[in-house]
Structure formats: C-alpha cells, structure tokens
Amino acid sequence: MYPGIPKKLHNNRKSSLAAGFRSVLGTLPWNTIRILAALILLAFIAWPSGASAQSRIKDVADFEGVRENLLVGYGLVVGLNGTGDDLGSAVFTRESLIGMLQRLGVNARDDDLDTDNVAAVMITANLPAFARQGTRIDINVSAIGDSSSLLGGTLLVTPLLAADGEVYAVAQGPIAVAGFSAAGNGQSVTRGVPTSGRIPNGAIIERELAFEINRLNTIKVSLHNPDLTTARRVASAINGLIGQAAARSTDPGTVSIKVPSRYKGNTVAMLTDIEQLRVQTDQSARVVIDERSGVIVMGENVRISTVAIAQGNLTIRITETPQVSQPNAFSNTGETEVVDRTTIEIDEQSDNRLAVLDSGISLQELVNGLNALGVGPRDMITIMQAIKSAGALQADIEVL
C-alpha cells in the first residue's frame, strides 16, 4: 500500500491501473503481445545483480600443471631484398650460413661470401599445455644482427628448445611483417618494427610434455593476485560445489583441493565444474604510480584521513625580444645595432588555496578535491607521496 493512501482508494487505483493496462493490450495484435512479453522476460534476465561484480575462478586463478612452456631457437631468414645482415660485421650470420651450406653439401668456406639477403634471427614461441605431436603453434621472429627489415623473408628449418635443452618443436615458413621502412637520398621513414615478424602456425610440435592430470590426488589453485580473503572465498565456493571440506587455502595465493572419491580418475570433470564458479575477489588498497608517463591508478578502497593540502609553484618566465636600432634615412652618423629587450614575468599562483580533505573520503572525492586545486598528474604524484609520508593515506603506493 502506498503511504498516506486509504486502503479503499488504494484498491481502486490498482483496479483502474489494471483495467487500463488490459484495455491497452486489448487493442494490440496477439503476436505483438507475445513479443512484448518476451522482451520483458529478457529484461528481467539481463537485469544486473550482485553476481555481476563477481568473477569466475577460471579468470582469477590457474590450476597446477595447466600452463604453457617457453621455447626459443636460433635460425636464418633468407630471401630478403637487400635488407639482410652485413656478413662482414655480423660474424654469427656468416658462420651460420657457411655451416648450413656445408650440411647441404656446399663448400663455401673458401669463397668470399658477400650477400645481403640473409639475416640471423631468434625465434620465440609458447608450448601450450597438453599439446600433442603434430599440432601447429604460432611463432615470433626477431632479427639480432644489423638487418633493416625482414619483409619478404623465409625462415629456414629451426629447432625450438625448452629450458631443459630438449627440442620440442621445429619452425619454418614465410614471415609476416607489419612494419615497413623506405628511404631516399634526403629522407627516410619507418612505420612499425620491420625487424620483427610472426609466422602463424609456423612450428610443428615434435615432443609432448608428459603430465597425467587425472592421476593427481591433490590439485592446487594459484591465484593471479594473491589475497587471503579471495583465497578463502575460493575455497568456500569449491567446498560448496563438492559438498565436503575438500579445499582449503594454504596461503594467500594457493588453494589446495583434495580430489574426492567420486572424481577419482576424472579430475578434468571436477576442474571444469570448479572453473565456472563465481567468487567476489578482494584486494588491498593500492595506488600505482608510473612516474615516467605520469599515470596514476587508484583502487576503490583507497581512503584518506583528514588532511590539508596546498599546491603551488613559483614560475619565472623570461622573454627575450631583440630589437634593431638604426639611424634615420640619409644620416651620415650612427650605426645599426641590435638592442636587447628582456621581459620578466613572475607567477606565484596566488589564486591557489589550501584545501581540507575530510577523513574517510572516497576515491571520487579525493580526485575531485585535487582537481579543484588545479593539480595535474605530475603534481598529483608528488602530493600522493606526501600524503603517504604524513600517514594520512590508507593505502600502499607502488611506483613503477
């Protein structure tokens, strides 16, 4: 019932509203009514709720063993249009080219090699988790010599090694370069980075990493951003799904799960169910500052105790405007001279005032208060560090 409206009048109003609604619907075609009902239902389904601020465990954590491995290799790129390494200065390119030709039955050591169509490169790739033999992966190619561009080049067969020194993939193929460079006698232009490129599906996996996830009795979940509260929430969500106390947080970044008996031999099914669970992540109050670019990022939990802030700089601007002084026309006396004219302006920014920020203000109020003082990003960095030194900033400052 609406406050202040008698019950009888309230019922009459409800009846009149319902009658009006029915009269409006009565004039509409049945198909239109069905479409309106469907739209209303979709609106209720898409209505934002408290779960919209939650994240899937899949997005905030990794499972033990389910990760990529780094691969690296050294090879040669051929077919360049005069943009390769100088064999006189790039000794490693020369020796690699001679060694490759000798393996192919060509004796080139006694000859004076002088080609600029070959470049030495480093190849990097990521070996996906549970990758099988014959699967293709993307690779990145980067020049290490004095080559000016890899455009149009082809990578020759190159083995890719992991940290254990074993070969896990072999790469070869034409390089796709996004950047380019052009030069003339008086000017040159470079767009992007022509000395690095990419070969989609350029490597074939030759060795697999043995890892049987279904045989594990204990699974560890590693959080991307370690936090005690988040780790406990993740463990609680997993226990609620499994129906027993199988998960526990061992530290701020790890949740240990003991595989239940009903998931023995089928750990993949358990992980599939767990990674779809949603949890409310938490984080400590932090201010991240990049002094090189002047970027400041503050979390929503940043709070300020009562503090007074004043900001101002003394600016002295000196302007030199030399003037030419010369005698009148047809004068036999006097000489033309340059006379210095100096203008000095002093700006003490006297219009800046002292501002008081109350205790417990939010991030938005802090930004509004500093903007009211006319503070730019560079000065704001200094102010934030000063507030932290004064003990009024209830957050950690991280300088990049």
Domain shared by 76 and 198, yes or no? yes
Residue 48's pLDDT is what? 44
Domain shared by 296 and 315, yes or no? yes
Domain shared by 168 and 294, yes or no? no
Task: Show contacts of 375-383: CB within 8 Å, 24+ apart.
Answer: 375/311, 376/294, 377/294, 377/295, 377/296, 378/294, 379/311, 380/296, 381/289, 381/291, 381/294, 381/296, 383/309, 383/311
Domain finish residue from 173, 205, 237: 205
Q: Residue 96: in which H helix or E strand, if any?
A: helix 91-103
Q: How many Å apart are CA 388 and CA 375, to the nearest integer?
A: 17
Domain shared by 198 and 222, yes or no? no
Task: Say whether 18 sits in a helix, a strand or coil.
Answer: helix
Residue listed under structure tokens 């470049």: 119
Degrees (nearest 5) of the Cα angle 181, 187, 188?
A: 10
Paired with 78 in beta bridges are 154
pLDDT band, residue 340 (cuts 50/70/90): low
Q: How many domains does the chain have?
A: 4
Question: Is 146 inside a domain boundary?
Answer: yes
Question: Is 57 inside a domain boundary?
Answer: no
Domain shared by 178 and 73, yes or no? yes
CATH number at residue 226: 3.30.70
Neighbours of 367 (CB within 10 A): 15
Domain shared by 217 and 152, yes or no? no
Q: How many Å apart are CA 172 and CA 178, to the nearest integer?
A: 19
Residue 370's pLDDT is what? 66
Question: Is 55 inside a domain boundary?
Answer: no
pLDDT band, residue 362 (cuts 50/70/90): low
Residue listed under structure tokens 């074993």: 166
Domain shared by 379 and 316, yes or no? yes
Q: How many Å apart are CA 206 and CA 212, to the nearest integer?
A: 19
Domain shared by 303 and 385, yes or no? yes
Domain shared by 79 and 197, yes or no? yes
Question: Is 301 inside a domain boundary?
Answer: yes
Question: Is 349 inside a domain boundary?
Answer: yes
Domain shared by 199 and 88, yes or no? yes
Question: Is 59 inside a domain boundary?
Answer: no
Question: Is 54 inside a domain boundary?
Answer: no
How large is the C-alpha radius of gyration of the chain?
35
Structural domain range at position 173: 69-205
Give 333's Cβ-side CA count (13 Å radius): 0
Helices 228-242 and 267-275 pack at an angle, to 10 degrees, of 120
Degrees (nearest 5) of the Cα angle 106, 202, 131?
A: 120
Share of the chain above pLDDT 70, in %: 68
pLDDT band, residue 49 (cuts 50/70/90): very low
Q: How many Å apart are CA 66 and CA 214, to the nearest integer?
A: 12
Would you say residue 213 has pLDDT above 50? yes
pLDDT band, residue 234 (cuts 50/70/90): very high
Domain shared by 195 and 74, yes or no? yes
